[in-house]
Amino acid sequence: MTLHEKELRAVYTDTLIELMTTNSKVVCLEADLGKSSGTVPRVWDAFPDRFFDVGVAEANMIGISAGLANEGMVPFCATFSPFATRRAYDQITISIAYAENPVKIVGTAPGVTTAKNGATHMCFQDLAIMRAMPNMRVYCPADVYELRSMVRYMAASQKPEYMQLIREVHAPLFDDSYEFDPHQARILDEGADVTLVTTGLTTQFARKAVGSLKQEGIQAEHIHYPSVKPFDVQTLLDSVKKTNAVVTAENQNVIGGLGGAVCEVLAENYPAKVKRLGSQDRFGEVGDVPYLSDTLGFSAPKIADACREMVQAK
Amino acid sequence: MDFDKIESKEQLDQLAKEFRYIITDIMCRAGGGHIGGSLSLVEIIITLYFRVMNVKPDNPRWADRDRFILSKGHAGPTLYTALAYRGYFPKDVLLTLNANGTELPSHVDQVITPGIDQTAGSLGQGLSCANGIALACKLQNKTNHVFCIVGDGESQEGQIWEAGMFAAQHKLDNLVVITDYNKMQIDAEVEKIVSLEPVVDKWRAFGWEVFEMDGHDWDDIHATINKAMAVKDKPAMIVAHTVKAKGNVCYENRIECHFISIPDEDERNRVIGGVCALDDDEPFHFNWTEGK
């Protein structure tokens, strides 16, 4: 099986095993959702001395990880995105970010990808609340190559970092040569009609939207942000100076996340009209990903509609 | 008093007297502070830093040192006084407690204060961090110990008990935890808010080796900590019976001692007087100019 045929969680596990093989400081923590992250049983079997399932105790997992990082270990701790962020937010704030303990937090099944688990597990604010935390970096990989490079980068970085991890298979966008740089957004398509800004899951949706827009003669400049924080300001400004119209799409609430970051940057540097797609400040519900992303307004057709409207309104 | 001269109980008593004066004085100068939970820990923290822990003040992050996590981070002033007396920083730095731009904030901070092993202050978190530190020390085959002090009010946090289960599960016998059981919290007596009792049985039921001690008796503290350090295959909990605001007659064992405000010179003199009043003979006054 080639890399891009694998589920992202399998690549997360492969990369962790690769890192743990070469670096004895890397440790893996779970809070009874290791089967979902993909680390149970593979990481547990491969490194029983450096795998710790803390049970259903996310706050404790964050604190233990902080202590491990304080001692020079490199802890990757994972659970569903709501439990990895909002459930343990004060613990992350004080024991990790404020204390500058470089823990690697992985939030799985972000937003609508938790699907049939429904609203209780459907976190639409992790990008916003983690972005609002000083010292914390916030990443959303869009394919397996980016994920692998990002996890390698995180293992070497001395910063507290949060990464969303979608479990399922994604279409490949990059290749073996890809190297993640949190300060560098990726222009996936060039165009002068509208700037389309996405991250993670919506980067996948936007590829389809950009294709259909092209057939109509609309050239969208599609920028993928693997890092929502730090945020690559220059790439956005260079694009918007050409297009003067922006659409953002995210698997999140429109308040405070990627769209929020874009609006902050533009308001301070180059005011332009922005349409933010994502949950319009509402909770989720049970359903599959196509249904939920369309209902909430950030599916490929909804992204194409928004781009079309922005161009027509010029 | 120099560290290397401390041998007798009289010298320890003198050190505790100086600590209580300094803690009270720097809080008064700062306009207030967490006096109750700081004074209840004087003998325990002196014992750790002057009789038990293997540390190098000239190399605060020395890899093989014993670690100390003050999970009830608001008792920082007592720890800062111990660090100053051990030479981590000059004693007159203590006068900057809570001043603008200080290295000594009300709650302990591993980033800005030399000798602080773990940031704490949001209650309930330090024991989890101590678990991680103890785990990391074991993974790196260290033979040191990790000490952690939790508050009794703090033990109402669920995370303390999450950490308690984990430490026992992973047999963290390099971890020695002390509960500062002064039996008071901000709003009232712990017993009136949410009782910890039977706290000894609870920790035992969680799989810990549990001891009790008089948290103001030098011999009992020293002997009990040594026994706790010798425990194998499980973490050790010491329930330390202490008196909140011990040694200051203005506040000793009074509910309002958790945090005091010092609005003016008169109140400052009254509270400073409170720490001197228990002296049988000559009251101690620390001369900040001379540093003694």
Within-domain flag for B282? no
In chain A, residues with a C-beta closer than 8 Å to the C-beta of B109 are 99
pLDDT beyond 60 at A85 = yes
pLDDT at residue B245 greater than cutoff 90: yes
Assigned domain for B8 exists: yes
| pLDDT value at B130 more than 80 | yes
Which is more confidently placed, B1 or B18?
B18
Average pLDDT of the segment spanning B252-272 = 94
pLDDT of residue B30: 96
CA distance B41 to B31: 21
**pLDDT (0 to 100) of residue B226:** 98
Q: Which residues of B touch A49 (CB under 8 A)?
A: 139
Residue B286 lies in a domain: no
Contacts of B266 (CB under 8 A, 6+ apart): none
Report if residue B283 sits inside a domain.
no
In order, the DSSP letters of B202-265 are HHHHTT-EEEEEETT-HHHHHHHHHHHHT--SS-EEEEEE--TTTT-TTTTT-GGGSSEE--SH
pLDDT at B135: 98
* Homologous superfamily, domain A3-165: Thiamin diphosphate (ThDP)-binding fold, Pyr/PP domains (3.40.50.970)
pLDDT number for residue B279:
63
- Averaged pLDDT, A126-144: 98
Please tell me which residue of chain A has the smallest CA distance to B113.
A99
**Which structural domain, as residue segments, surrounds residue B59?**
3-276
Which class is A186-308 in CATH?
alpha beta
Distance CA A172, CA A170 (A): 6
For the record, the structure tokens of B264 come out as: 């003016």
Q: Does B133 reside within a domain?
A: yes
Q: pLDDT category, B3, cuts 50, 70, 90?
A: low
A234-245: average pLDDT? 98
Chain A residue with minimum CA distance to B119 = A99
**Each residue of A37-46: pLDDT tens digit?**
999 999 999 9
Residue with tokens 């808010």: B193
Residue B26 lies in a domain: yes
- pLDDT at residue number B5: 61
Site from B123, B125, B172 to mutate, A interface, most A CB atoms within 10 angstroms: B125
Report how many domains make up chain B: 1
H helix runs in chain B, sequence order: 9-29, 35-39, 42-47, 76-86, 126-139, 158-169, 190-193, 199-205, 218-229, 265-276
Q: For A163-190, b where at least 16 C-beta lie within 10 A, e where not — what string?
A: bbbbbebbebbbeeebebebeebbebbe
Please choose, from the candidates A249, A244, A224, the residue with its C-alpha nearest in 3D space to the C-alpha of residue A235. Answer: A224
pLDDT digits (tens, 9 = 90+) for B60-73: 999 999 999 999 99
The answer, yes or no, to whether residue B278 has pLDDT greater than 70, is: no
- Parse chain A into domains and list their residue ranges: 3-165, 186-308
Tell me, yes or no, whether B292 lies in a domain. Answer: no
Q: Nearest CA of chain A to the CA of B71: how many Å?
A: 11
ipTM of the complex: 0.94
Q: What pLDDT, on a 0 to 100 scale, did the predictor assign at position B1?
A: 54
pLDDT at A213 over 90: yes
The answer to the question of residue B7 being in a domain is: yes
Res. A69: pLDDT tops 90: yes
Residue B288: predicted pLDDT: 83
Q: List pLDDT tens digits, range A257-281.
A: 999 999 999 999 999 999 999 999 9
What residue in B sits closest to A95 (Cα-Cα)? Answer: B119
- Beta-carbon contacts of A4 under 8 Å, excluding residues fewer than 6 positions away, are A143, A144, A145, A170, A171, A172
**How far apart are the C-alpha atoms of A95 and A72, rounded to whole Å?**
15
pLDDT at residue A133, as a whole number: 98
Length of chain A: 314
Is B135 within 8 Å of A52 when comparing Cβ atoms? yes
The chain A residue lying nearest B64, using CA atoms, is: A71
Whether the predicted pLDDT of B147 surpasses 70: yes
Please, which pLDDT band fits residue B183 given cuts at 50, 70 and 90? very high
Q: Which DSSP helix (H) or strand (E) runs through A185?
A: none
Interface contact flag, B130 A67, Cβ < 8 Å: yes
Instruction: Provide the CATH number for the domain around residue B212.
Output: 3.40.50.970
Instruction: Please judge whether B125 and A63 are an interchain contact, meaning their C-beta atoms are less than 8 angstroms apart.
Output: yes
**Residue A80: pLDDT over 60:** yes
Q: Look at B162 and A57 and tell me if their CB atoms are within 8 Å.
A: yes
CB contact under 8 A, A60 and B128: yes
